Amino acid sequence: MSDLTALKTKYAEQIDSADSLQALDDVRVAALGKKGEVSLQMRTLGQMSPEEKKVMGPALNGLKNELADLVEARKSVLEADALNAALASETLDMSLPVDASVGSLHPVMQVMEEMAVIFADMGFAVAEGPDIEDDFHNFTALNFPPGHPARDMHDTFFLKPDADGNKMVLRTHTSPVQIRTMMSQKPPIRIIVPGRTYRCDSDQTHTPMFHQVEGLVIDKTTHMGHLKGCLMDFVSAFFETDVETRFRPHHFPFTEPSAEMDVRYERVGDEIRIGQGDNWMEILGCGMVHPNVLVNCGLDPDEYQGFAFGMGVDRLAMLKYGMPDLRDMFAADGRWLSHYGFSPLLQANLATGLS
């Protein structure tokens, strides 16, 4: 028995001091391998008397198990050490500093971000929809009946008709996302929809692809006063100064009553100054959602009401940041971008200022 105690001490020490998985395995083989010292001892059991066997059998088995447990425990420690060493030596520094002098945020993206920040502060969520729309969402559900002249005002890009003669369109405005939202969400609804829109038009103030931000609020009590307050707060926050606004009656098929909102401005040389002067500039369309639109989306106009608005992002970006020609925005000229672009590392936020 004292032999076994000595064996145990010897191998326990060796296991404990094994400093690599290989060294540990060598110790394991020396003790418990086929020709290991403990295994050889076990073979002698056959030649023992039954009394001896009764004592030595369990003792040897116990020793074998104890050493096997020690090997396993040491193995876990060595494996953990190996993993930690690998992690330490193989780390990839994902936080490599970006060279912010290369690449910048396009002013349109910056302005959409600013708008999202302002409206988020008023409790609006951001919704999106597809650029390729069907006639129902782009026109019919928005109360443009088939053949209605207002459809022609949109200079629509049509896709090739399908087998049934249905033509998909490149959405002419972000308003179809109003329909998608009302059909998939229960009021109260409070969303803005930033996105690309398309019309067959190109000159100094029009590009075939441009950007809009749509807004929609639906609940049971919202009225025209909320619409005006919301948009007046928005423009002052957006231009980062007090801006006087004016609402003029207008017509859109999907709102009743409808209005356009103008802001006071002045031209000083080449510069346009928003908020002062004697001129008015139209910046967005808005109105109370037309009862027909609510019905088309399965909402009861006697129960629900709300307002909507839509504005051109590119033009607001031009006004805010003094860019003279809309077409330059999408010419992908690196010089233009490095002049008018924004740092991708500085996120627009209300606390430190938008821009």
Residues that bind ligand DAH (CB under 6 A): 173, 175, 214, 252, 255, 285-287, 308-310
Q: How far is the CB of 355 from ligand DAH (least distance, A)?
A: 25
Rounded (10°) angle between helices 2-17 and 21-32: 170
Q: How far is the CB of 330 from ligand DAH (least distance, A)?
A: 18
Rounded (10°) angle between helices 313-321 and 224-239: 40
Q: How far is the CB of 211 from ligand DAH (least distance, A)?
A: 11
Please, are residues 261 and 284 in contact by the beta-carbon 8 Å criterion? yes
Q: How far is the CB of 155 from ligand DAH (least distance, A)?
A: 11
Q: How far is the CB of 285 from ligand DAH (least distance, A)?
A: 3
- For residues 9, 14, 17, 18, the Cα torsion angle rounded to the nearest 10 degrees is -150
Nearer to ligand DAH, 67 or 191 (CB): 191
Closest residue to ligand DAH: CB criterion: 310
Nearer to ligand DAH, 27 or 112 (CB): 112
Please, are residues 311 and 211 in contact by the beta-carbon 8 Å criterion? no
CA distance 171 to 154: 10
Nearer to ligand DAH, 236 or 258 (CB): 258
Q: How far is the CB of 197 from ligand DAH (least distance, A)?
A: 7
Nearer to ligand DAH, 175 or 181 (CB): 175
Nearer to ligand DAH, 308 or 329 (CB): 308
Nearer to ligand DAH, 60 or 179 (CB): 179
Q: Which residues pair with 305 in a beta bridge?
A: 219
Q: How far is the CB of 95 from ligand DAH (least distance, A)?
A: 42
Extract the tokens encoding 128. Answer: 């999106």
CA distance 279 to 315: 17
- For residues 133, 135, 141, 146, the Cα torsion angle rounded to the nearest 10 degrees is 160
- Residues found in the chain: 355
Q: Following DSSP, what letter does each residue of 26-75 receive, concatenated?
A: HHHHHHHSTTSHHHHHHHGGGGS-HHHHHHHHHHHHHHHHHHHHHHHHHH
Could you tell me how far CA 165 lies from the centroid of its own chain? 37
- For residues 89, 93, 94, 95, the Cα torsion angle rounded to the nearest 10 degrees is 150
Rounded (10°) angle between helices 50-90 and 21-32: 170
Q: How far is the CB of 232 from ligand DAH (least distance, A)?
A: 16
Nearer to ligand DAH, 142 or 337 (CB): 142
Beta-sheet pairing, 189-198 with 125-126: parallel
Nearer to ligand DAH, 19 or 131 (CB): 131
CA distance 95 to 97: 6
